[in-house]
Structure 1
Amino acid sequence: MKFKQILVACSLSALFFSACEKANIDVDTTPVNGSAIGEVSGVWAKGSTQVIKGDIVIPEGKTLTIEEGVTVLMDTIAKPEIIVKGNLYALGTAQNPIKFTVNDFYKTDEKKFGKLWGGILAGPTCAELVLDHTIIEYGGSTTSDASTSVKQGLYKAVAGENLPALWFSNVNGKLIVQNSIIRNFQEDCTYIEGGKIIFANNVFYTTGVTGGEAMNFKSGCLADVAYNLVYSTNTNALKLSNSGDRNPQAYIIVYNNTMVNTGWRRPTAKGGSVWVEATVRADLYNNLFANTRFGIKRDTKKPEDSRSKYSNNWYYGFDQVTVNQFQPTSEIVAGVNDVIGKTAGENDPKFVNYPLNTPVNNPSYNTAWDFHLQGNSPALNKGITTFTRHHKNGLIMANGLTYVSPEPALFVGAYGTKL
């Protein structure tokens, strides 16, 4: 048997377990901790800890459901990859999120960019993947010839690639990432090559050593991207591209997101806030750019689809160098009703708690920061709500759950005032 479920015989601190082998099953609601390597499916029960000792695979036609409060603990020696050929539903809650993580011992400043395990890699046969109230951290290891993803032709299928937290590649599939946190990764947080997609209410930070985006979309994607906070990615918060020649044409609707300090740690042509290229169709509304490098920047040799729309975005720069970066040119996009000042400190969005003089190349995130807007913020009523999003009517999943892309707001950015 490739999958082991180890029944707990005593408390979590005990050193010895009574174990038995189980065949792959579709439902297992036994509230126990366990360990896994090889093929997995069924249910990882609420509040349990699952120790991943090597690469695991959810087989085609099978499903793994992870209930709230589960800790998925990755072996830092084996550096496991999670290969999804069937369906994966990680269904945490605000009070009890799911964690894909490593032992706290390894969470040092020296390891702040992870590289301690692989990532979640969903192949073309993965029909549905949901990450809800899920924390993914300290991964992004580099592939080798021995990697399962390389052997099976997944992701970029070559040795020497830094794995993302999430790769999804089914143009006919459904992908939901909401209420989640992706942090402490070596390069890209997500690399998406197709699907009907909702990314909403997520936070991305401390990612990217020499490259890497928070959200990287390619051809085949129909995505709604809303209410996300991206802090200090090495490169862009969003890379929007129609590369790959998949159908449908990539069409990404990006609204009410907050981007802070992005792009400065890779000050090259693509390092910035939002990069658009290769005939992607991109609509961007109500986004807040604070101390980011550039604003929305296009590849002038391979520009975006001419039907793309930009409106009601907000720009702030603490110093003149930053302000100069987002002034409109043939490369830097200016939209209708955008708020773009020309002077340092102009258009302060008035965050509840964030020092606007924080160094732009600082990758470390302070969880005490609060990017809600104060009651006197000038950004509170500068948004637009009249556009249409892809998944307004919802995406219905095989497990009976429905996910709807959120309504746009009249405020700019990911957060309005605190309730």
Structure 2
Amino acid sequence: MEKLLSRFLDYVTTDTQSDPYSKTTPSTEKQWTLAKKLVLELHQIGLQEVSIDENAYIMATLPANTDKKVPTIGFISHMDTSPDFSGKNVKPQLVKDYDGKDIVLNKTKGIVLSPDYFEDLLQYKGQTLITTDGNTLLGADDKAGIAEIITAMEYLAQHPEIKHGKIRVAFTPDEEIGRGAHKFDVKKFGADWAYTMDGSQVGELEYENFNAASAKIIVKGKSVHPGYAKNKMVNAIAIANEFLSLLPPREVPEHTTGMEGFFHVHKIKGEIENAQIDMIIRDHDAIHFQARKELLSNISEKLTQKHGDCITVEIEDQYRNMREKVEPVFHIVEIAQEAMESLGIEPIIKPIRGGTDGSQLSFMGLPCPNIFAGGHNFHGKYEYVPLESMEKAVKVIVKICELTASQIK
């Protein structure tokens, strides 16, 4: 799988970080650099109907090589990397035959990837790990998925003895800022169902995810000389802090797991006259999700009664739990599960503690479970991916295509 490795290393060294404050699609001009490279590569491996639209959404087709009437299936990954951590000047490092010990990512800065903290590392003793150099994220989320899809399509094109139906592939911008599916043309894509290759460790197979919303709490204060401020000053910073104190203290990312939801404050700024809290709201359960949004409104009302009309809460829904759209066509999950099991991979079926293009696409009419791409510790300097995990993902894609065709009588 030398091509798989070389592709991935090429992709991650291209900066494609997205920008949540941009109004354009893609949100950053630099995403076009990788997009144009992928279009050329799709032509080179022999795919047809290769297209890229004005928003950098890429689509292509591997034609069917069977006369059976087989459903058209798709595979999707995103090009952008998270705005949470730098994706500029990524310098991936290869750790061959990993020995299960600490990996020094950056000796100068004392940055170490250790199995004492990241226990998943021990699963990959003896394998080849691709890590960062401690200064950037890696970009396995989701350039591993892109490399896997393209490698799988190339393999199928070169092995016509493996019968399959029409296969569509797509690469999207801006998934990391929640917009990856916003301008996705489901009708043009033309698949009966698809899979996003955007999960983490080997075996992950996910068909439910968080309900998600973003929230802005805007506080307006009044600045008065502090020596004469009694009953006159309204300190927006203090009120913002009071607002946060009324949220459930344990319902945050660092104290929740599994199906537990949370509030996550990711930005706060302020001065006496103006303060703003930016947060996200997450919950798998629709009723609990609604209750979380209502809690923010209730806190606002309580503080308004105490301090006057100084708080505005703006809540914007981002995506919903795709389970309700996938369960009616559950055979698409079962095909992926069978593909993994036939390759000796134990499926790990669990809810996504995050979002995925597949969620929005499922509600747009394209049921879309999520499959592992192999990486760990996304969005930061400790990100890594085992090469062998990527190889397994390629095999799962190929097997899904083969099983979808073979199950049609």
User: What TM-score, normalized by structure 2, do the two folds share?
Assistant: 0.25
Q: Larger relative contact order (C-alpha < 8 A, sep ≥ 6)?
A: 2
User: What TM-score, normalized by structure 1, do the two folds share?
Assistant: 0.24
Larger helix fraction of residues? 2
